[in-house]
Amino acid sequence: MDDARAYASDIGVLGVLRVLTRFRGLILLPIIARGLGAATYGAWTQSLVFVSVGMSVITLQFDVAVVRFVSGTDDRYRQRSVYLPLVLIVIGLGVLVSAAAVILAPWIASKVLGDPQYAAIAGWLGVWTALTAVAQLGLHLQRGLHRVKLFGVLSTAETLGQLAIVAGLILFTGELLPAVLGAVAWEAVFALAVLALGFRSVGLGWPDWSSLRSSLAFSLPLVPSYYGGTVLAFADRLFVAAYLGAEAVGIYSAAYSLARIVREIFVPISTALLPAVSQAWDRDEKDQARWLLANTLRYYLVLAIPAAAGLTILGPQILGILASGAIAQGVGFLIPFMAIGYLFSGVQAAFSVVLQLVQDTRALAVARSTAALLYVPMVILGVLRWGLLGGALATAGGYGLDLAFTSFYSRRAASFDLHSWQTLKAALASAGMSLVVVMVQRPGWVGLALSLLSGVAVYLGLLTLVGGIGRRELRFGAALIGWRGPGEDERKG
């Protein structure tokens, strides 16, 4: 139970820290969209897309390999033999990507950022990407060392530091380029600090390349898997930017940022989940690993289903307060489909952990790549025929395919209880909550707060009424805070 309590504690801390990091999008939305316009906000969000996609080229999913293999051993030399060769490869690839971004800056500005005038910004995106990749590898080393809370604190510091610098420079200069340069400078300082922490954690010596083969065998199949996930996450916005322009992608990205909250609920969970289940699995405590997986997915759905329902109703009002009228008017019909898509994405992430656990990363690559290949024509046809709505519909369909394929391979590798009845109860309680929120909804911040509080109270009440919260859940919660350990019935549940 000590491991389960530590796991729950990690999730709680990561959840709070993740909420803080998500303020970046909500704070920068009014600063950029209102001050500089929807087109500039679109260019900013596409810059973040470039950094995210570019990291997949540089890291080759080594960060996942570091977590999987470092978490299974306490030997400092073995930990160092996993980390050092990978960080050297990432630094070398980062230099190549930085040079390529400078050469291709005009093309990146036109095709990715949506306007040739952003060429100066595009030239710096490669450096930003390379520094972020080095930092991320060092952060995930701490995660693999079971310092999950430290990982969360450092990740939050990275995001909030960037937020403060970017927001301050935009307000002071009224331009996006100085803000991007500030973000690059901050990332350079942060990457060096995390790199030094990593060397202090595992030691510094001549790299032992003997573990590189195992790391590559695990991580390289994850590269097409990650690219598939990247296509699912960003292909719609890239095509909207290229076909409909920067202002359209600004509107679309605003809806995306809000709907993605449904997926973000799983991020702190998945951050703590892989090292926890890897440790249990490698100790041959497979029942404990399955128990963690089952209850993780169960409680994620209890949170994510009402979140999707609430964002569908309140999303336009939230963006109406934070952003311009043009953005608020254009997102109401997008959010429901995006929220459903990201609900599917969160469930898929739980099944993908199973395949990483059993080191069947090839199956994960096949599943995600297939979903991505089917998703691209869905996006193109959807946007060409229905515009922004077509992109949102394709998002729901693409993530649905991704979940279907991944769960198929995952269930064959290692099955666990899906708690289907609990999901149905959460859906019923969310439907009742939605009716109440529609009735009490009022304009303004006060009205929004009233809607949120009413929705939470009604959902919890209805969930209790239909049996979604009972003595078993209360006993489990009490055990997590130290009142008592769970019995065998809870552990098997």
Task: Specify the DSSP class assigned to residue 333.
Answer: T
Q: Secondary structure of the chain: what % helix, strand, coil (to 5)?
A: 85, 0, 15
Q: What is the DSSP string of 155-204?
A: HHHHHHHHHHHHHHHHHHHS-HHHHHHHHHHHHHHHHHHHHHHHHHHH--
Dihedral sign from CA coordinates of 393, 396, 399, 404: negative
The amino acid at 215? S
Domain ranges within the chain, ordered by starting residue = 2-492
> Kind and range of the H or E element at 80?
helix 76-103
CB of 150 closer than 8 Å to CB of 134:
no
Cα separation, 92 vs 286, in Å, equals 38
pLDDT at 39: 73
Q: Got the DSSP string for 13-66?
A: HHHHHHHHHHHHHHHHHHHHHHHH-HHHHHHHHHHHHHHHHHHHHHHTTHHHHH
Cα–Cα dist 10/19, whole Å: 14
Mind listing the pLDDT tens digit of every residue in the chain (493 residues)? 455 566 666 666 666 666 656 555 556 666 676 667 667 777 887 888 888 888 878 988 898 888 888 887 778 888 888 899 999 999 999 999 999 999 988 888 887 787 788 888 888 999 999 999 999 999 999 988 888 888 888 988 888 888 888 888 888 888 888 888 999 999 999 999 999 999 999 888 787 888 888 888 888 888 888 778 878 887 888 888 778 877 777 788 888 878 888 888 887 777 778 888 887 887 788 888 888 888 888 888 998 999 999 998 988 888 877 765 656 666 678 889 999 999 999 999 889 988 988 888 889 999 999 999 999 999 999 999 998 899 899 999 999 999 999 999 998 877 787 778 888 999 999 999 999 999 988 888 888 899 999 999 999 999 988 887 766 665 555 544 444 444 444 443 3
> Residue 484 has what pLDDT?
44
Tell me, what's the pLDDT at 8? 62
SS3 at position 104: coil
Question: What's the confidence (pLDDT) of residue 160?
Answer: 84
CA atoms within 13 A on the CB side of 341: 27
pLDDT attached to residue 483: 44
